[in-house]
Chain A
Amino acid sequence: DAGVIQSPRHEVTEMGQEVTLRCKPISGHNSLFWYRQTMMRGLELLIYFNNNVPIDDSGMPEDRFSAKMPNASFSTLKIQPSEPRDSAVYFCASARDENIQYFGAGTRLSVL
């Protein structure tokens, strides 16, 4: 299996632009997670899907952030409009019922 696949690996954008991060979970996994990692706050869970349905989005910072999972093999995290404080590494992870989460390689986002 190829593991969790995230794209792009790096994204540099200007403040105010829309940013879309993409994730393909491991085939057969029914849970998907978006995390944000910064030096100041460490790893934070943003949103969690189970069977394509958002279960908990309490970690989403504000309305500028939105996430979708239209099917079992694809999810997006969108930031519109982006701000410099959104600069971070964004991870996607997927899991089956045994609670082991497998992470993608992350997307490093820089908002100038």
Chain B
Amino acid sequence: AQTVTQSQPEMSVQEAETVTLSCTYDTSESNYYLFWYKQPPSRQMILVIRQEAYKQQNATENRFSVNFQKAAKSFSLKISDSQLGDTAMYFCAFITNNAGNMLTFGGGTRLMVKP
């Protein structure tokens, strides 16, 4: 079975500080894609960042970056210079080729950015 685990149900960070959200996953596949989605109070699911498993270089997207450790099956999200608008639920997810396009989601981490 393919699973995604987010061990931090809730986190908080001061505005302008850096925070790291953890994610581990389990799959027997070697080729897959990893994602972080953000769900603000508006409940819209917004893609934050994507990582291809065959790429060793960690993906970055402005203030968002990942630390992808394939051997450890770990995919953490780092948010630098946190802003109030980053307050949201963050979901880690992945897709394997054998699962078609079906995303497997983690349980989410609720992040609160404090002024």
Contact = CB atoms under 8 A, between A and B. Distances in A.
A59 B103 CA distance: 12
A42 B100 contact: no
B91 interface: yes
Interface in B45-96: 45-47, 50, 91, 95
A42 B101 contact: no
A50 to B, nearest CB: 7
A105 B42 contact: yes
Contacts of A101: 47, 101, 103
A101 B95 CA distance: 10
A95 B107 contact: no
A91 B103 contact: no
Given A42-B107, A42-B108, A43-B91, A99 B101 contact: yes
A48 B43 contact: no
Contacts of A31: 101
A56 interface: yes
A91 B45 contact: yes
A89 B43 contact: yes
Contacts of A106: 43-45
Contacts of B101: 31, 33, 48, 50, 95, 99, 101
Interface of B: 33, 35, 37, 42-47, 50, 91, 95, 100-103, 105-108
19 contacts: A31-B101, A33-B103, A42-B107, A42-B108, A43-B105, A45-B103, A91-B45, A99-B95, A100-B50, A101-B101, A101-B103, A103-B37, A103-B44, A103-B45, A103-B46, A105-B42, A105-B44, A106-B43, A106-B45
